Chain A
Amino acid sequence: SSELTQDPAVSVALGQTVRITCQGDSLRSYYANWYQQKPGQAPILVIYGKNNRPSGIPDRFSGSSSGNTGSLTITGAQAEDEADYYCNSRDSSGDHPWVFGGGTKLTVL
């Protein structure tokens, strides 16, 4: 099965822009979806598909894709954005199961 690779940790100054990336062969066929997870809580979907936000997700969150890389951009990061972020997509092999990246810990300075 395919794997999705994320940087373990990223930091951003309050109010600045940060990009979190996700690499994997499956992203040549499928868009990356993005989840935010805060300590002790279930993940929340923040971006799905080409660049779609579920209801209630601030518009400072956006997604993009190029080749085998998907990206989540937070424009004007807020303190409450400090969390773990996970990408996921369908796997382009076999029965097309789902795969998750290893997660990126975002620190807002």
Chain B
Amino acid sequence: QLQLQESGPGLVKPSETLSLTCTVSGGSISSNIYQWGWIRQPPGKGLEWIGSIYHSGSTYYNPSLKSRVTISVDTSKNHFSLKLSSVTAADTAVYYCARHSTVFPFDYWGQGTLVTVSS
């Protein structure tokens, strides 16, 4: 059974960089079929796709966040990572990682991790 698990600091100061890692178990991140994405959900609000990455390292991002987002992959560790720079309180959210493909949408999700931006 595929499992995804987010990890990283739960508190980040304004203007700093948010960094999270998603570790994949029960399957290989190097699959040619699947892509790996980040989605976030501010408290009490809806879902927002942040960006996705192929195992090759090719990425594509939400245009509204593109200038601040970097997603990378480490196939040797079977994990991928998110960096979001210059954070503000508006970036406070539960951050999810998830698997998807070009054809199939987000079918496996991590449990999510709350990141609060506050001094």
Contacts and interface: CB of A to CB of B under 8 A. Distances in A.
Interface of A: 1, 33, 35, 42-45, 48-49, 54, 86, 88, 94-103
Q: Classify chain B: how many residues form its interface, as a range.
A: 20 to 34
B14 interface: no
A79 B12 CA distance: 39
Contacts of B62: 1, 97
Given A100-B48, A103-B46, A43 B109 contact: yes
A54 B37 CA distance: 19
B107 A43 contact: no
Given A1-B63, A97-B60, A43 B106 contact: yes
Contact of B107 (A45, A86, A95, A99): A45
Interface string B80-119: 0000000000000000100010011111011110000000
9 contacts: A1-B62, A33-B105, A42-B110, A43-B47, A97-B61, A97-B62, A98-B37, A98-B49, A103-B47
B52 interface: yes
A109 to B, nearest CB: 23
Given A42-B112, A45-B106, A100 B47 contact: yes
A49 B101 CA distance: 12
Contacts of B48: 100
Contacts of B52: 98
B112 A45 contact: no
Nearest to B108: A45
Contacts of B109: 42-44
